[in-house]
Amino acid sequence: MSNAEPMTRARPPARRRLKVTLLDAVLIVAAVAFVAYLVYRVNAYLVYHWDWGRLLQYFFYYDPDQDQWVANLLIEGLLITARTSLWAMVFASIFGLVMGLCRVSHVALFRMIARGYVEFVRNMPPVPFLFILFFFVGNQLLKPLELTELAQAAPPYVQDVIVLLFGELNLLRNFSAAVIALALYEGAYITEIVRAGLLSIERGQWEAGDSLGLSRTSQLRYVILPQAVQRIAPPLANQFIQLIKDSALVSLISIQELTFMGNEIAVSTTRFFETWLIVAAMYFGVCYGLARLFARMERRMNRGRM
C-alpha cells in the first residue's frame, strides 16, 4: 500500500460498543415470541396453575413439636449430594493420582493397567457402569465387611460422627458402594488430568533430577509433583463440578440425594414443572457459584506466580 493513498477506509480498532444490529432485532423478536408462545401453551392450552408456595415447605418446614424450623427433603437432598460428592472426590483423587503416576511409569505393566482402566471407563456408559460396580462392590466387596453392624456396635458418640460424615447407619453399605462407583468413574478423568500435568513438566526438570543423582521416586516427589500440582489444580477443580453433576446419577441406584428427592416430591405433589425447575436451579446455583469461585482462585494463583 502506497503512502499517498488516503487511509479513510481503514476501520477503527474493534471496540465493544452496544450496537443494535439486524441480527439483534431478529433474535429479540424471536425470543419474545418464543416466551409468549410458551406462556400461551402453559396458561391457555394446559391451563396449568403455578403453585410455587407449596414447594417452599420442602426446603424448610415448621415443626410445632420441636417448636423450630426443620430442613426438609430438598435441603436434605442437597446435603447428601454434597456428602456424596465430597467423599467421591476424595477417593477419585486418590485413584486418579495413583493411576496417573502409573500412566507415566517406566514399567509397562503399570502403564497397561492405567490405560486399561481409563479406556474402560471412557467407553462405558455411566449408567451401566454405576449399576455393575454398585452390584459388585456392594454385594461382593462390602457385604463381608458388615459396615452397618460394625457401626451399630460402636459407642453412641462415634455413631454420631459416622452419621454426620456418611449418613444413616442402615444405608452405610449402599452409600459407600455408590461413592466408590462414582469415584472409580471420575477417577479415570482425573487420571488423564494428572497425566497431562506430569507430562507438561519440561524434560529438563527430570534431567536435572537425574543429574543430581535423585532416584525416580525422589524426582517425582521433590521436583516434578510440586510443580505439576499447580497445573493440575484448575482442571481438578472443574472435575469436581463435573462430579457434582454426575452425582445426580446415583439417584438411579437409590441414594437419596437431590435428584432422588426431586423425583419423590414431583411424584407425591404432582407439581412436576415447579419441582424440576427448582431442582435444576439448585444445581445451577451450586455449580455456577463454584465455577466462579474456582475461576477467581485460579486468577489469584496466576497473579501470585507472576
Partner 1 sequence: MTAPSDTAVRRSGRITRIPWFDGLQFFLLVGGLIYLAVAGASAFNYNWQWYRIPRLLYREVDGEFMLGPLIDGLFVTFELSAWALPLSIAVGLITALLRRSDSFAGRYLASGYLQVIRNTPILVQVYIFYFVVAPIFGLSPFWACILALSFHEGSFTAEIFRSGIESVPKGQWEASDSIGLTRYEKYRHIVLPQAVPLMLPPLTGQVVTLIKHSSILSAVAIFDLTTMALDLIAETFMAFEIWLTTGAIYIVVTGTLSIVVGLFEVRIRRRGAR
CA separation for the pair 216, 198 (Å, rounded): 13
Contact by Cβ (8 Å): 256, 77: yes
Residue 154: DSSP 8-state: S
Residue where the block lists cell 479406556: 119
Return the number of the residue (162 or 176) whose C-beta is nearest partner 1. Answer: 176
Choose, by CB under 8 A, the member of 56, 94, 139, 150 that binds partner 1.
Answer: 139
Residue 69 contacts partner 1 per CB under 8 A: no
Q: Which of residues 241-300 bind partner 1 (CB under 8 A)?
A: 241, 244-249, 251-252, 259, 262-263, 266, 272-273, 276-277, 279-280, 283-284, 287-288, 291
Q: Check: CB of residue 191 under 8 Å from CB of residue 236.
A: no
**Does residue 226 interact with partner 1 by CB under 8 A?**
no
Instruction: Name residues contacting partner 1, limited to 2-31 (CB under 8 A).
Output: 18-21, 23-24, 27-28, 31
Query: Which one of residues 33, 35, 36, 46 is an interface residue with partner 1 (CB under 8 A)?
Result: 46
CA dist 136 to 49, 126, 131, 132, 199, Å? 46, 15, 9, 6, 34
- 116 binding partner 1? (CB under 8 A): yes
SS (H, E, C) 221-275: HHHHHHHHHHHHHHHHHHHHHHHHHHHHHHHHHCCCCHHHHHHHHHHHHCCHHHH
Listed in sequence order, the residues at least 6 apart from 113 whose beta carbon sits closer than 8 Å to its beta carbon are 99, 102
Using CB under 8 A, pick the residue from 54, 122, 296, 299 that binds partner 1.
122
Q: Between 46 and 297, whose beta carbon lies closer to partner 1?
A: 46
- What phi, psi does 200 have (nearest 5°)? -75, -10
Question: Minimum distance between the CB of residue 21 and partner 1, rounded to whole angstroms?
Answer: 5
Going by their DSSP bridges, the two strands 60-63 and 68-71 should be labelled as antiparallel
Length of the chain equals: 306
| Residue 84 makes contact with partner 1 by CB under 8 A | no
Please state, in angstroms and rounded to a whole number, the distance separating the CA atoms of residues 258 and 278: 11
Q: Which is nearer to partner 1, 72 or 259 (CB)?
A: 259
* Interface with partner 1, residue 78, by CB under 8 A: no
Write the single-letter amino acid at 141: L
Residue 72 or 263 with smaller CB distance to partner 1 = 263
With respect to partner 1, which residue has the nearer C-beta, 70 or 122? 122
Nearest CA among 184, 200, 175 for reference residue 91? 184
The nearer residue to partner 1, 93 or 251, going by C-beta atoms, is 251
**Backbone phi, psi, residue 19, to 5°:** -135, 130
97 is a contact residue toward partner 1 (CB under 8 A): no
CB nearer partner 1, residue 60 or residue 273: 273
Question: What are the residues facing 62 on neighbouring strands?
Answer: 69
The contact set with partner 1 (CB under 8 A) reads 18-21, 23-24, 27-28, 31, 38, 41-42, 46, 104, 107-109, 111-113, 116, 119-120, 122-129, 131-132, 135-136, 139-141, 143, 241, 244-249, 251-252, 259, 262-263, 266, 272-273, 276-277, 279-280, 283-284, 287-288, 291
